[in-house]
Copies of this chain bind each other. A is one copy, B any other.
Amino acid sequence: MAPITAVYEISGPDPALRAELVAVEQSHELPTEVAPANAVRDSLAHVRTVVERPGQPALVTVDYPADLAGGELGQLLVLLLGNVSLQDGVRLVDVTLPASLIEALPGPRLGIAGIRALTGAPEGALLATALKPVGMTVDQLATLAAEVAAGGLHVVKEDQGLANQPWAPFADRVPRLAEAVRRANPNTAYLPVVNGPAAGFADQVKLARDAGAHGVLVMPGIAGFGALSHAAELFPGGIVLAHPSFLGGFTAAASHGIAPDVLFGTLLRLAGADATIFPSWAGRFSLTQAQCLAIADAARRPLNGLPPTLPTPGGGMSIERAPELLAAYGPDTLFLIGGDLHRGNNPRRAAERLVAAAAAARPVKRP
């Protein structure tokens, strides 16, 4: 079977030696000379290439025997960066998996086509907002949700700041908001955030499902990467939207962690995200345009028949810049806009303006 291949950027002196240490750390985590012969033969990782680049980190390619992942996403993550995440100077920048492993991993169930079918939008950009701020009552949130749904947004998700606070407890809030959105626009998907204790995760997802929500928002950095596919199993036909909260340790600095396209694109797609939120350029966060377009590409590109994940740029988007951003991202995008929809104190009208702005966007031809 073809190996699992990971590419790392390694900063600092002697990258060839450090590459060998990464290969051992991430497979045997034991000096090779004391491992049994059968294990050395079958399960030890190997450094394939070390490319030194003046003024840049070295590019190191490591082959892992595919069986090391045991066909499981969690173990794939342990393998790719588990312990090495604790070391500065090593960054995971690319991953290639054998087809048999991709088939064993969850992947998106709905993907882009499923979200388009559910929201009655066969083409064009898709538009979303986040219900916030925390501290609003259920009545206030229901009014806001109905307004933006009536304004034509395809997805109304809850802000990750909503949980089970006294102002709008989960069990009170979710049925009310599902009803408000359904009445306002039958083509708008409502996605509550699920972030309670793990023992109650299934109950929360089922409550959302039975209340008439259209899926859930999950934070894999907190609930775990497996929570994405678990939610999909519990909520057949529901959208699983991944939120990057508490994942930023991996992407905030260039010298370690994981390249954003690998984390928010490839890995969350393999984990089962139908759509993946990431902090876009032109907002409050620091990823570059190139990094953001690479995330979108990793989410959508052909990958062994796996459904594509809908890239969902957010984090300070504006109506004004929607045409420019959607032109760059292309139509298979869920454009997530928050605070800017609240300006002017008429969220329905703001949503309508966003719908009009998106309709005016024309994709940029890219070579």
Give A contacts to B, CB under 8 Å. Answer: 21, 25, 27-31, 34-36, 38-44, 67-75, 77-79, 81-88, 106, 130, 132-137, 140, 159-161, 163-167, 169, 195-199, 201, 219-227, 229-230, 233, 244-253, 255-258, 279, 284-286, 315, 338-339, 342-343, 345
Contact = CB atoms under 8 A, between A and B. Distances in A.
Contacts of A161: 27-29, 68, 78-79
Contacts of A84: 248
A83 to B, nearest CB: 6
Given A82-B246, A286-B87, A345-B34, A339 B29 contact: yes
B251 A86 contact: yes
A343 B166 CA distance: 57
Contacts of A223: 74, 224, 226
B134 A244 contact: no
Given A195-B72, A253-B253, A29 B83 contact: no
5 contacts: A30-B338, A67-B167, A86-B251, A86-B286, A252-B255
A221 B258 CA distance: 14
Nearest to A243: B82
A213 to B, nearest CB: 19
A34 B343 contact: yes
A199 to B, nearest CB: 5
Contacts of A160: 78, 82-83
Contact of A164 (B27, B72, B252, B253): B72
A286 B319 CA distance: 45
B197 A85 contact: no
A249 B85 contact: yes
A358 to B, nearest CB: 22
A43 B249 contact: no
A250 B141 CA distance: 33
